[in-house]
A = this chain, B = another copy of it.
Amino acid sequence: MRGVLFVKFSNMTVSSPQARALAGELSVSAVRLARRLRGRHADPNITLSQLSALSTLVREGAMTPGALAGREGVQPPSMTRVIASLSARNLVDRRPHPTDGRQIIVAASASGLALIADEAKASEVWLTQWLAKLSAEELALLGQAVGIMGQLVERPIPRAG
């Protein structure tokens, strides 16, 4: 057991003080962790936004810019810029849509696939150094939390009051 890791939240309900604290800390923790992990990759020149979009293309296959923007939770103009930067580095290909002249299809290129594979390999390097002090249980917890975070991202958020 280390520090505050095992603070008991077992009796937490959605309106409990602990749940409220979680809500406040969740945003701040996410931005701090993203800040901390930015640039810590096999290729430090690729940004997390680019990596996120590219990994979605690899995982879910080719799609239109609009669809990718939807999957990533950004507006279409933002995705246009991300795709442009990926395309400039030949990590994605842009193909015309087979039936709709307005749309295009964005697909990970061979280089893009290779980059994602490299990232997966390189992850192990810093993982062993950085996460080595976490116990198997803590790693398991973090793995499950990442799954929950992924589900949360999929869920619509109500406007704050």
Instruction: Please list the residues of chain A having a beta carbon within 8 angstroms of any beta carbon in chain B.
Output: 2-15, 18-38, 40-42, 44, 48-49, 51-52, 55, 72-74, 119-134, 136-153, 155-161
- Of all chain B residues, the one with the shortest Cβ separation from A52 is B28
Main secondary structure, interface of A, reads helix
Contact (A40, B120) CB under 8 Å given A130-B152, A131-B19, A153-B32: no
Residues B143 and A144 in contact, CB atoms below 8 Å apart: no
Residues A36 and B128 in contact, CB atoms below 8 Å apart: no
On chain B, the residues within 8 Å of A49 by CB distance are 31
Residues B126 and A157 in contact, CB atoms below 8 Å apart: yes
A141: contacting residue among B19, B30, B136, B144, CB under 8 A: B144
Cα distance A4–B147 in the bound complex, in angstroms: 7
Residues A72 and B32 in contact, CB atoms below 8 Å apart: yes
Residues A42 and B161 in contact, CB atoms below 8 Å apart: yes
Closest chain B CB from A49 CB (angstroms):
7
Residues B34 and A30 in contact, CB atoms below 8 Å apart: yes
On chain B, the residues within 8 Å of A131 by CB distance are 14, 19, 23, 152
Other than A15-B127, A126-B158, give 6 A-B pairs with Cβ distance below 8 A: A10-B137, A20-B121, A20-B127, A31-B48, A36-B153, A125-B161
Most buried by B among A18, A141, A156, A160: A160
Residues B155 and A130 in contact, CB atoms below 8 Å apart: yes
Contact (A29, B150) CB under 8 Å given A15-B128, A23-B124: yes
